[in-house]
Structure 1
Amino acid sequence: MTQAKIAGYFKDEIADESEEDLHDLYVKDNKVESKMTFNRKYSLSLMCADFIEPLLMDNFTNIVVFLGLDEHKYVRASKQVMDLMKQEFKVLDSKKIYALYSPLIRGFNGFPKMSKSFTESSLSIQNTPFEIEHKIMNKKEDEMPLQLNVNYQLMKGLMDISEEKAKQVHSDYKNQNVGWIVDKEELLKRVIEIRDMWYE
């Protein structure tokens, strides 16, 4: 119903200016069409409807959406649509859409981010422990600067790393010694623990 309400305000220009930052990557692998087709506009308008729907109700004055940093244009599109709707839907006056953006975690196998669209780039609870081990322990991931290393980013996000531990990991990585293998094994153990908790 909300999508029907926003349809008259969802202009082509808004859609055309709402490509996510990694659009070319998805096009290259045939995950999405390169042009802003009807299918893509429909999908984007549904997302806008998701954001605007609570604000059409009297009991919500503001909403916060949580997205990856590369998807910031979706929020801008929703704000533009909502601004156009305000003359007809007075309930939207003074209401706001806010966003919190998560940083991109690099993907495995050279991908710029983890994405469910590219299974080889990311971890999933559906991965077997063997598949998780293959991704984390892969030597190929150790060929880039530490701050861009997917395993290091996961360590910082999933493990309680003290400043002292971070320095040790940095040294292990720089020297590519056995300590770095141990660091990755600790990460592997943590990821499998999280996976198993989900199934329990």
Structure 2
Amino acid sequence: MKSNTAPGPPIGTDPAQPVIFSEGYYQHVVREHGYDTFELERFTFDLAGLGAGELNVRWLCHHRATDFLATPQPSRIITTGFGMSGVPHMGTVSQIRGITALQNGGERCQIVLGDLDAHNGKGRSLEQTRELADRFAGFCRRMGFNETTGILRNQFNDLDCLRNMYLLGFYAEDSDFDRAEEDNHGYYASMGIVDGRMTFRRKVSLALMAADFVTLGQDFDAVLVTLGVDEHKYVRFTREVTQRFGADTSLRRGFTLASIYSRLTTGFDGYPKMSKSVPGSSINVETTPEEIVARVMGDEARTPEASPSYQLVCQLFFRPVDECLALVHECATASPAWRKTKAELAEYLISITELW
């Protein structure tokens, strides 16, 4: 994965400070976690009718996606999931938009609504997370996800997955969970949003996410996970635990586990990314039209990686890929064309909130 941007400073030197998801951060992920250019790389192939150039604009990189594509289409599936810790923000919407585009391109797809994940991992009440999952499901349908050809489910009702989590737990070590902390965990813990340490309930939340992936691997030969790049450790956790499966388990380990990672949508007001748990960082589906216009039009960043508006243009498929590339210059110069694009983006975001 190559970049013309110099690597950023070491990650994690002060856990109370937010990690900024710049190109330097991506380079750090490659170096720190032992990936190399043929493991975590840019796209050089087509997927679901999207060319390599467009994939590189809409997402960041992939791991073993070529192995996924080498698997016959009826034997493979793409999955993503969302924690039910709050109403969807536009970063979440971009993930829904992305997997819907992959589904429209002919791939079998799944969306998991993490009601149990938010209950254990974020301490939300079970009633709240289950109600939110029901609303999320309707929102995904209105955003275009087809549950006739795909899978749209919560965690509470999937008993097979819960059983597989228990079986998977036999092969997991405490150290696996500690290594799977996302890079901004210390920052969110300092704000009181999550537990500061890897508590039992957070371990259960992570184990269930891994079981979501492994359960698909019981029926499909290749599973492609789409997540934000800050969540790459979750897939790595699953892969490492799966490799330990022995003859005394009923779980199958002989499937391909691949991944596609998106850039993290920069948060408004200086936050490192949009977060459901940090309302001021994002535009969500309950943000008023006036607030949406104010935040988008008030975005004065001059580089794509610093501008949440530019990133939303790309990740929401709001403009064709050639226009996205042309807008890099318009953003840098704060041209009239860029101001017009931002105004149109604000209107589009308002229309999305109406689907909620």
Q: Which TM bucket (shorter chain)?
A: 0.7 to 0.9
Structure 1 position 13 matched with structure 2 position 175: yes
Unaligned 5+ runs, structure 1: none
Aligned-partner residue type, residue 78 of structure 1: T
Corresponding residue for residue 155 of structure 1? 313
Superposition map of 1:19-30 within 5 A: 19-30=181-192
Give the aligned partner of residue 47 of structure 1: 209
Contact 1:108 1:114 in 2 (8 A): yes
Q: Say which SS state the counterpart of residue 259 (structure 2) adopts.
A: strand
Match of 1:135 in 2: 295
Aligned to 2:202, the other structure's residue is in SS state helix
Would the alpha carbon gap of residues 144 and 37 (structure 1) be closer, same or farther in structure 2, given more than 3 Å must change? farther
**How far does the alpha carbon of each residue in 1:143-195 deviate from its partner, in whole angstroms, 9 at most, with x for none?**
55344211121223332257568546734652x46554433211111211233
TM-score, structure 1 normalization:
0.83
Q: Does 1:95 align with 2:255?
A: yes
Instruction: From the CA coordinates, give the structure whose radius of gyration is larger.
Output: 1
CA RMSD, aligned part only?
A: 2.4
Cα distance in 1 between the residues matched to 2:238 and 2:261:
15
Secondary structure of 2:258 counterpart: strand
Q: Which amino acid aligns with 1:97?
A: L
Contact 1:65–1:100 (CA under 8 A) maintained in structure 2: yes
CA, structure 1 residues 177+67, in 2 after alignment: closer, same or farther (shift >3 Å)?
Answer: closer
Distance 1:95 1:166 in 2: 37
CA contact (8 A) 1:108 1:135 kept: yes
Equivalent pair of 1:6/1:49 in contact (CA under 8 Å): yes
SS where residue 127 of structure 1 aligns? coil
Kindly report structure 1 stretches of 4+ aligned residues shifted beyond 6 Å. Answer: none
Q: Between the two proteins, what is the percent identity of the paired residues? A: 34
Relative to structure 2, which stretch is displaced further, 109-118 or 161-170? 161-170
**How big is each residue's C-alpha offset from its partner over 1:53-112, in whole Å with a ceiling of 9 and x where there is no partner?**
222x3x322211111100000001111111112332365242222111111111111111
Aligned residues: 193
Partner AA of 1:113 in structure 2: K
The structure whose residues are more often helix, as a share, is 1
Match status 1:34 vs 2:196: yes
> Is the 1:137–1:184 Cα contact (8 Å) retained in structure 2?
yes
Aligned residue among 76, 80, 83 for 2:240: 80
Who is 2:54 aligned against?
none
**Aligned in 2, Cα 1:165/1:72: closer, same or farther, shift over 3 Å?**
closer
Higher relative contact order (CA 8 A, sep 6+): 2
Is 1:110–2:270 an aligned residue pair?
A: yes
Gaps of 5+ in 2: 1-162
